[in-house]
Amino acid sequence: MDFISKYRRQLALRSFLAVITPVIVLAVFWFLCSEIFSFEILFTLIISLSAGIAVAIISANVLTIKASEPLEKLQEIIMFTAHSERGGAAPDTAKLKLARDLVESLSREIYNLGSSSPTTIAAPATTSVNQPQQVTEQPATQIVIDAIPMPIIGMDTNQNVTVANKAVADYINKPLSEIIGKSLYDSVHLSFRSEEGLEEWLNKVKKSSVTSTRAWNRVRHAVSQDEWKQFDMVANFSSGNSTGTETMMAIFDRTEQYGADDNEISFVALAVHELRTPLTIMRGYIEVFSDELGSSLSPELKDFMHKMQASAEQLTAFVSNILNVARVEENQLELKLRSENISDIMQTAISDLELRARVHGKHIDLKIDENLPPVAADRISVHEVINNLVDNAIKYSDKADKVDVHAYMNNDGLVEISVRDYGIGIPTSVMGDLFQKFHRSHKSRIQVGGTGLGLYLSKAIVNAHGGNIWVRSKEGEGSEFNFTLIPFDQISAEQAEGEDGIIRGAHGWIKNHSLYRN
């Protein structure tokens, strides 16, 4: 294998350094001590010797570690390819890289084997018309790849299977005769997690490269209606070699492992699920009551009903906040920036908040300037930011009965949204920490509840959109929170998520083309 000779060379170089370094150190010390500091000979000898020994000990240790590295690699490879590997470890990119190296070397050997041994059996491999007649893989190759325990598949330039080992037949539960010579996609339905699947990748590399290797994790293939496999896959593309096989693929089965991961739900997600279930039920029954008893209730009871409804909605929004804060903490807040109409988002968000404002005796004054450009936004997240800011404004409004929300184009060419209340304001002493987690105005601690997750999360979301969030406030006169969003045509293509025919709402999505598709 390639990497062994690589490490052999490295090891030789390191042993040389390990020997030569103490010698040089010794000599230099000897020279320094005797010439520059004019120490006695004996003293000089002792210092130089101890320095040399120290360096020797260190280099010996380093050498041992380096010397065992190929063994470790080998062990990793054995563990990686072993069928019995278990445990719910997350996909390991280092291992995937290792698999890439492994498959690259392996493919080279198979190509070599295919092209060097004399042709014993020649037969048309494919029914393709525009291809020159090809030669099937030699039996020698077949014998070798059959000995490899993991599934190996080779394809020609039309993505027809030219070679496959016995492990493939076992893995996808089809005889080799039904696989070889046919299009790969007749035998397997691969489903990739990444945007770029095998076909897309091949189309790309065919245009740009002579050889290339790519690894995917968590690829799925349905073996039957009731069973599917999950695996990591590595493909090596190498054009113009004489075997007719252009792409070699190796499959590393991970069905058990990924199956276990899929069923694993994080503590926060589970807690949120458990909180949401009774909330769904409460909101459902409140709606039934309010619809069917509405007309018969006294104004006082009707007001109670609205307060109940508003509180349930507030709690629902808060539960989503928890989930998102957990995502921010784990760096997992993934936003899909799309071209969105800010007016739509704001109107939906404010109409969701109206009941809450009303039961607290407030009125939300929403003003949206005309002709605002579409913004690059993740709809659900921006909805949450507006929800948090307005919710705070309602909470801290005190006796004032108005909250102003305004969307406009600012002088920097960004869409700016301001949420202004006329309440208690924020003391200057806490302004600096306002966007930190669990922070809350000290004055209001007794008057208002809340944990201070909202602003922390809003900042994280706005920043992830490439915008800014800030506050101006005067004690006793109220506060104004502002944040900016970038017009969609100003962001780069990489940041933008393509159109996918899905209409996203504030609390879910629906397919655009799902109307009477059957």
Q: Which residues bind another protein (CB under 8 A)?
A: 189, 191, 193, 195, 218, 220, 222, 224-226, 228, 262-263, 265, 269, 272-273, 275-277, 279-281, 283-285, 287-288, 291, 316, 319-320, 323, 332, 334, 344-345, 347-348, 351-352, 500, 502-503, 505-512, 514-518
Smallest separation (angstroms) from another protein to the CB of 152: 23
Smallest separation (angstroms) from another protein to the CB of 332: 7
Token representation of residue 104? 């690259």
Token representation of residue 232? 């990591």
User: Is residue 361 left, alpha or beta, with left meaning phi > 0 and alpha meaning psi from -120 to 50?
Assistant: left
Smallest separation (angstroms) from another protein to the CB of 388: 15
Dmax over CA atoms of the chain, in Å, equals: 110
Phi (first) and psi of residue 470, to 5 degrees: -150, 170
Q: Could you give the 3-state DSSP secondary structure of residue 470? A: strand
Please report where in the chains the tokens 């101006």 appear, as a residue. Answer: 472
Spatial contact of 1 and 107, defined as CB atoms under 8 Å apart: no
Task: Give the nearer residue to another protein in terms of CB position, either 14 or 356.
Answer: 356
Smallest separation (angstroms) from another protein to the CB of 509: 5
Task: Give the nearer residue to another protein in terms of CB position, either 144 or 407.
Answer: 407
Rounded CA separation 244/269 (Å): 50
Smallest separation (angstroms) from another protein to the CB of 177: 21
Smallest separation (angstroms) from another protein to the CB of 476: 37
3-state secondary structure 304-323: HHHHHHHHHHHHHHHHHHHH
Rounded CA separation 153/151 (Å): 7
Task: Give the nearer residue to another protein in terms of CB position, either 285 or 470.
Answer: 285
Smallest separation (angstroms) from another protein to the CB of 206: 24
Sheet of 415-421, strands arranged across? 363-368, 402-409, 415-421, 478-485, 469-474
Smallest separation (angstroms) from another protein to the CB of 89: 14
Smallest separation (angstroms) from another protein to the CB of 283: 5
Smallest separation (angstroms) from another protein to the CB of 367: 19
Work out the end-to-end distance of the chain between its first and last CA atoms, rounded to an integer number of angstroms.
55
**How many Cα atoms are found within 13 Å in the side-chain-facing hemisphere of 408?**
10
Task: Give the nearer residue to another protein in terms of CB position, either 214 or 420.
Answer: 214
Rounded CA separation 385/383 (Å): 6
Task: Give the nearer residue to another protein in terms of CB position, either 248 or 407.
Answer: 407
Q: Could you give the 3-state DSSP secondary structure of residue 367? A: strand
Task: Give the nearer residue to another protein in terms of CB position, either 84 or 371.
Answer: 371
Task: Give the nearer residue to another protein in terms of CB position, either 291 or 412.
Answer: 291
Q: Is 192 exposed, middle or buried (0-12, 13-18, 19+ CB in 10 A)?
A: middle
Rounded CA separation 387/409 (Å): 21
* Strand pairing category for 375-377 and 247-253: unpaired
Rounded CA separation 350/417 (Å): 13
Q: Is 234 exposed, middle or buried (0-12, 13-18, 19+ CB in 10 A)?
A: buried
Rounded CA separation 87/132 (Å): 47
Task: Give the nearer residue to another protein in terms of CB position, either 239 or 332.
Answer: 332
Task: Give the nearer residue to another protein in terms of CB position, either 301 or 503.
Answer: 503
Spatial contact of 487 and 374, defined as CB atoms under 8 Å apart: yes
Smallest separation (angstroms) from another protein to the CB of 307: 16
Task: Give the nearer residue to another protein in terms of CB position, either 248 or 364.
Answer: 364
Q: What's the Cα-to-Cα distance from 440 to each of 319, 433, 436, 447, 475, rounded to whole Å?
A: 19, 9, 9, 11, 14
CB atoms within 10 A of CB 17: 12
Locate all alpha helices (DSSP H) within 367-419, ordered by sequence: 379-395
Smallest separation (angstroms) from another protein to the CB of 280: 4
Task: Give the nearer residue to another protein in terms of CB position, either 224 or 296.
Answer: 224
Which amino acid, 492?
Answer: S
Task: Give the nearer residue to another protein in terms of CB position, either 208 or 225.
Answer: 225
